Amino acid sequence: MKSTVPVVAGIDIGATNTVMGLVDRHGQCYHRDTIRTGNYETATHFLDAMARMVLFAMESAGQGFQLEGVGIGAPNGNYYLGTIEAAANLQWKEVIPVTETMAHYFDVPVRLTNDANAAAMGEMLFGAAQGMKDFIMITLGTGLGSGIVCNGKLVYGHDGFAGELGHVIVEANGRQCGCGRRGCLETYASASGISRTMQELLTTSQENSLLRNQSKGSPDAKHIYDAACAGDKLALRAFDLTSRYLGTALANAVAFSSPQAIILFGGLAQAGEFILEPVKRYMEDTMLHIYKNKVSILPSMLPESDAAILGAAALIWEEKHIPEQHP
Amino acid sequence: MKSTVPVVAGIDIGATNTVMGLVDRHGQCYHRDTIRTGNYETATHFLDAMARMVLFAMESAGQGFQLEGVGIGAPNGNYYLGTIEAAANLQWKEVIPVTETMAHYFDVPVRLTNDANAAAMGEMLFGAAQGMKDFIMITLGTGLGSGIVCNGKLVYGHDGFAGELGHVIVEANGRQCGCGRRGCLETYASASGISRTMQELLTTSQENSLLRNQSKGSPDAKHIYDAACAGDKLALRAFDLTSRYLGTALANAVAFSSPQAIILFGGLAQAGEFILEPVKRYMEDTMLHIYKNKVSILPSMLPESDAAILGAAALIWEEKHIPEQHP
């Protein structure tokens, strides 16, 4: 008689694609599948397709697998309510009752949270934060997301919306942010932030740059990285400015929760030496003395292709396998 | 046969006095006593006197009382290590093993934390934060202390030093802070901060003020309050500037932990309309839209005379009577 493998369906709802995989307790991912988020006119149709994707994967997997739960990461996902509310990049603007709807399809626990919180859980169970009880996850994409773990638990706040470090104001009357305010961290420290910085440098400086003769529009993070690798001074300066904003903001975040590590995830975080080292340096320079030389800046240890799925699945695995810990 | 009253010894170690009281589970305080902190040349002698103060109180209380634990609030108190380290206002500069030493006198649990964390526990069990699982405590004294509660637990961080919101930098190259850096929140939002602000206003403005003809030195918070009550425009402006720094800093803190309330404690917090209302207004003006109109700014509900004792005792009562809660 073969023993069954307990798995959790990890689902990441993105603006373009919604991806799914069955994840075992060691972070091994099986039977990945994808649906196109944009193809569904109503949220109800979309959720039905999402549920069927899981059911189909379990059927394909056969009797060797047993479903233990469904974990979902989504933009503006609210852990307490199990809803997605007013997500800027999704086409459905109403409050979407995700976990309630999923409960019609599955008799196992269903949990939802935002993508950065899911990423934090993924790192804690399967990545760079294994064994840590206090750390901060920073996801550097188009914007800046964050997931904060204190005492081994995600910080959700009283309403489920804690952990929006991308919207800490770092520059009074600074850059216009999509949230309607000015000077938010994510307008400087993100893929779009470094692109704006580069564009400003190209406009205000006379210095030669590989990025001057690009086609129209601001140079994107990838091009800035390539230019920095080639020694382009303005591109290097763009990374330095980005790192300064992020490093000094993180010094303030440390005064809040005194984490063991801050983990950087996403395209920009892969710019390695151009970001990890200077962020650490600016953070150390700015930080209160009692925290100095205690906080690591680490790159994510999750494979980028599966990171979102692993994070979503970790929401369930964390409940099942991390016993309550008292310091 | 009379039943016994279980009590916890709550101790607050201050630079001048160390105060103690026996606190029952409802926050009733008995047998207060005080020793003069400055009278003891060595930390060992001091801790001996502190322990004897508790033993004496229990003896005086008689058989009707049973000691359940000893909770201690102290400057730079470290919860994990049970030590006081390099407290600026105490005369002993070595690392003081407080809980370890106390364990020689008592066979009940002994806990130590910093004074702002103790205040947060006091509010959660006996004051304005009863029933809350997510809130931030701000103590406005000479400096600005903070205790952060997430998921019903104090945030200590990986090293026990979390929650130093007084040292979040709010003004690049701003006022010199005692920590050696510039622009820390407590250089603006504290009793000494408002005093510096008032002095600056008196120097830079030509406006009449009741505070112009004081004796030498900066006007203290109490005098500024009295002047504000009398309608003094510069004093009112000092309160407004102080509130703006605090309110905008709290808007950033909300993006971190999304608390249900922020509780203000200490002399400045008692300036009522001059501080609570404008702090709330500046916070709301600055805050990300998803948090608007959700976060209360509340004054402490602990009687000021016993607040520190109640907070210290709450460290023990919280362990005994708040069951682990899962959202």
Among A158, A165, A184, the residue to mutate for chain B (most B Cβ within 10 A): A158
Angle A327-B5-B11 from CA coordinates, rounded to 5°? 50
The pLDDT of A303-319, averaged and rounded, is 91
Q: pLDDT tens digits, residue range B165-212?
A: 999 999 999 999 988 999 999 999 999 999 999 999 999 999 999 998
Strand partners, A29: A23
Q: How confident is the model at residue A303 (pLDDT cuts 50, 70, 90)?
A: confident
The pLDDT of B280-288, averaged and rounded, is 96
Report CA A202 to chain centroid distance, whole Å. 30
Q: pLDDT tens digits, residue range A35-62?
A: 999 999 999 999 999 999 999 999 998 8
CB contact under 8 A, B159 and A132: no
* DSSP output for B150-171: ETTEE---TTS----GGGSB-S
At residue B216, the pLDDT reads: 67
Q: Say which of A132, A148, A324 has its CB closest to residue B256.
A: A148
**What is the distance in angstroms between the CA of the first residue and the CA of the last residue of chain A?**
42
CB contact under 8 A, B150 and A164: no
CB contact under 8 A, B162 and A257: yes
Question: What ipTM was reported for this prediction?
Answer: 0.90
**Rounded Cα gap, residues B236 and B228, in angstroms:** 5
**Rounded Cα gap, residues A137 and A160, in angstroms:** 17
CATH architecture of B5-125+305-319: 2-Layer Sandwich (3.30)
Q: Which residues of A touch B (CB under 8 A)?
A: 79-80, 132-134, 148, 150-151, 153, 155-165, 167-169, 179-181, 248, 251-253, 255-260, 286, 288-291, 294, 324, 327
Structure tokens given for A318: 């964390």
Closest by CA to A116, choosing from A247, A270, A310, A311, is: A311
Closest by CA to B255, choosing from A119, A121, A315, A144, is: A144
Report CA B25 to chain centroid distance, whole Å. 21
CB contact under 8 A, A181 and B256: no
In chain B, the residue whose alpha carbon lies closest to the alpha carbon of A131 is B158
At residue B99, the pLDDT reads: 96
Q: How confident is the model at residue A267 (pLDDT cuts 50, 70, 90)?
A: confident
Strand partners, A73: A12, A113
DSSP-assigned letter for residue A326: -
Summary mean pLDDT of chain A: 92
Higher pLDDT, A235 or B270: A235
CB A165 within 8 A of CB B255: yes
Q: pLDDT tens digits, residue range A156-213?
A: 999 999 999 999 999 999 999 988 999 999 999 999 999 999 999 999 999 999 998 7
Report CA A51 to chain centroid distance, whole Å. 23
Query: How far apart are the CA of B220 and the nearest CA of chain A, in angstroms?
Result: 27
Give the position of tokens 């109503």.
A42
In chain B, the residue whose alpha carbon lies closest to the alpha carbon of A183 is B286
- Given a cut of 60, whether residue B131 has pLDDT beyond it is yes
* DSSP output for A96-136: EEHHHHHTTT-SS-EEEEEHHHHHHHHHHHHSTTTT-SSEE
CB A5 within 8 A of CB A64: yes
Q: How confident is the model at residue A325 (pLDDT cuts 50, 70, 90)?
A: very low
Summary mean pLDDT of chain B: 92
Query: How far apart are the CA of B256 and the nearest CA of chain A, in angstroms?
Result: 5
Give the position of tokens 């407080």.
B98
Q: Say which of A159, A257, A289 has its CB closest to residue B157.
A: A257
Structure tokens given for B152: 């019903």
CB contact under 8 A, A79 and B327: yes
CB contact under 8 A, B160 and A258: yes
Query: Which residues from A are below 8 Å from B255, CB to CB?
Result: 163-165, 167-168
Would you list the domain boundaries of chain B? 5-125+305-319, 130-299
Q: Say which of B164, B257, B288 has its CB closest to residue A155.
A: B257
Share of chain B above pLDDT 90, in %: 80
CB B158 within 8 A of CB A259: yes
CB contact under 8 A, A179 and B289: yes
CATH superfamily ID and name for B130-299: ATPase, nucleotide binding domain (3.30.420.40)
Q: Which residues of B touch A (CB under 8 A)?
A: 79-80, 132-134, 148, 150-151, 153, 155-165, 167-169, 179-181, 248, 251-253, 255-260, 286, 288-291, 294, 324, 327
Decide the pairing of beta strands B65-74 and B5-13.
Answer: parallel
Q: Say which of A134, A289, A324 has its CB closest to residue B180.
A: A289
| Same fold for the pair A5-125+305-319 and A130-299 | yes
Query: How far apart are the CA of A212 and the nearest CA of chain B, in angstroms?
Result: 32
**Rounded Cα gap, residues B191 and B198, in angstroms:** 11
E-assigned strand segments in B252-319: 261-265, 296-299
Query: How far apart are the CA of B16 and the nearest CA of chain A, in angstroms?
Result: 24
Q: How confident is the model at residue A1 (pLDDT cuts 50, 70, 90)?
A: low
CB A14 within 8 A of CB A72: no
Q: Does pTM surpass 0.95?
A: no
- Sheet of B153-154, strand order: B153-154, B144-150, B135-140, B261-265, B296-299
Query: How far apart are the CA of B139 and the nearest CA of chain A, in angstroms?
Result: 15
At residue B304, the pLDDT reads: 80
E-assigned strand segments in chain A: 5-13, 17-24, 29-36, 65-74, 77-78, 83-84, 96-97, 110-114, 135-140, 144-150, 153-154, 261-265, 296-299
At residue A247, the pLDDT reads: 97
Of A84-88, A165-169, A230-234, the poorest mean pLDDT is in A84-88
Give the position of tokens 């009253």.
B5
Report CA B303 to chain centroid distance, whole Å. 13
Structure tokens given for B235: 């004093």
Query: Which residues from A are below 8 Å from B294, CB to CB?
Result: 158-159
* DSSP output for A263-309: EEESGGGGGGGGTHHHHHHHHHHHS-GGGTTT-EEEE--S-TTTHHH
The pLDDT of A87-97, averaged and rounded, is 85
Structure tokens given for B113: 């934390």
